[in-house]
Amino acid sequence: MSVPVLTFFNNKGGVGKTTLVYHLSWMFPEVGLSVVAVDLDAQASLTAAYLDEDTLENLWEDEAAPTTIYRAVEPLTRVGDLMEPQLIEVAPQLHLVPGDVALASFEDTLSDAWPHAMDDKSRLYRPFRILTAFWQIAQLAARRVSADIILVDVGPNLGAINRSALIASDYAVVPLGADLFSLRGLKNLGPTLRSWRESWCHRLDHWGYPDFALPQGRMVPLGYIVQQHGVRLSRPVKAYDKWVNRIPGVYHESVLRDSTTADTPSQDEQCLATLKHFRSLIPMGQEARKPIFHLTSADGAIGGHAQAVQDAHEDFETLARTLLQRISQNAPKDGHDHQP
């Protein structure tokens, strides 16, 4: 039985992926779930949100131990096998597989392995081990701490690292900004997910050994989250409305290959949330190394900020519960996956 993997994905940068993974990783434990967060972005900004610089320096400089995602996969770039990662306990029900800037150098190994997964059957073990390394590592980590859900943060691109991350994902959530760039990116996203899913299914069929646990590459799109923080305050509201109201049509066409009658995201069942611009709470949270909904007056959250902290708690709790509901609605019919 595998632990469900939920990845926040968009090839457009700066749409709030890392901020979402970070905050939800703190919120899921509050609604009763134990979380493993995996940082698969070579920028490692999720890891930097949890850990101070001294801790990071120690992790990254320890070349002998599997202290980061890269150290755990690095033997695969030579003749070795992946290693079980060391986990960081951030809070009682929140563990992290730390990211690593060095992860970028795994991209070539993943690209080379991709065509070899269709080679002669006697030579498949190695390319499959490499292509599924992220999934194996995430599952090992989740089993060790009895986690209910794995949350994955990735960088904004359509490269081999993200392809392996998505192969490892049961579910995908798409954070979106209301602007031309986000919509352009969204048009590529659906076809890319479909192509990765289909190519992985071909490889699974070719592999053909049913008793060996492999990710199924379901990457079921659970919906999108509209981000308001990217909106320039100087820009007229009309421009925001113009772009935001195009999201439902483009999402349905690109990702679901269907059409919608929704004129706005609020009418569209695929819209999981519209996240506010949290303004000064965000830097306050980064400074205190806390989710914004845990900020207190000692962190500077006084006056109007205290109400904003409560509102943010409510927003993230609602989002976490919505995601759980969508996961259970989209659970595999064969019941093989452990459901959170």
Ligand X SMILES: Nc1ncnc2c1ncn2[C@@H]1O[C@H](COP(=O)(O)OP(=O)(O)OP(=O)(O)O)[C@@H](O)[C@H]1O
Per CB under 6 A, residues contacting ligand X are 13-19, 41, 43, 45, 155-156, 229, 275, 277-278, 282
- Between 18 and 139, CB nearer to Mg ion: 18
- Between 26 and 200, CB nearer to Mg ion: 26
- Between 16 and 190, CB nearer to ligand X: 16
User: Smallest gap, in angstroms, from Cβ of residue 182 to ligand X?
Assistant: 10
**What values do phi and psi take at 27, rounded to 5?**
-80, -40
CA–centroid distance for 152 within its chain: 3
Segment 31 to 90, residues that bind Mg ion, using CB under 5 A: 45
- Between 48 and 83, CB nearer to Mg ion: 48
Return the number of other C-beta atoms located less than 10 Å from residue 59's C-beta: 20
User: Smallest gap, in angstroms, from Cβ of residue 282 to ligand X?
Assistant: 4
Question: Of 51, 69, 85, 23, whose CA–CA distance to 165 is shortest?
Answer: 69
Name which position in 12, 17, 252, 326 contacts Mg ion (CB under 5 A): 17
Per-residue tokens: 227: 């981000």
User: Smallest gap, in angstroms, from Cβ of residue 103 to Mg ion?
Assistant: 13
**What values do phi and psi take at 332, rounded to 5?**
-60, 140
Instruction: Kindly write out the interface string for residues 317-336 of this chain, putting x where it contacts Mg ion by CB under 5 A and - elsewhere.
Output: --------------------
Residue 23 in the binding site for Mg ion (CB under 5 A)? no
Q: Which residue has the tokens 């949270």?
A: 285
Helix (H, G, I), strand (E, B) or coil at 238: helix
Residue 12 in the binding site for Mg ion (CB under 5 A)? no
User: Smallest gap, in angstroms, from Cβ of residue 249 to ligand X?
Assistant: 23
List b or e across 269-283, with b for residues whose CB sees 16 or more CB atoms inside 10 angstroms. Answer: ebbbbbbeebeebee
Q: Which residue has the tokens 């595998």?
A: 2
Binding stretches for Mg ion (CB under 5 A):
17-18, 45
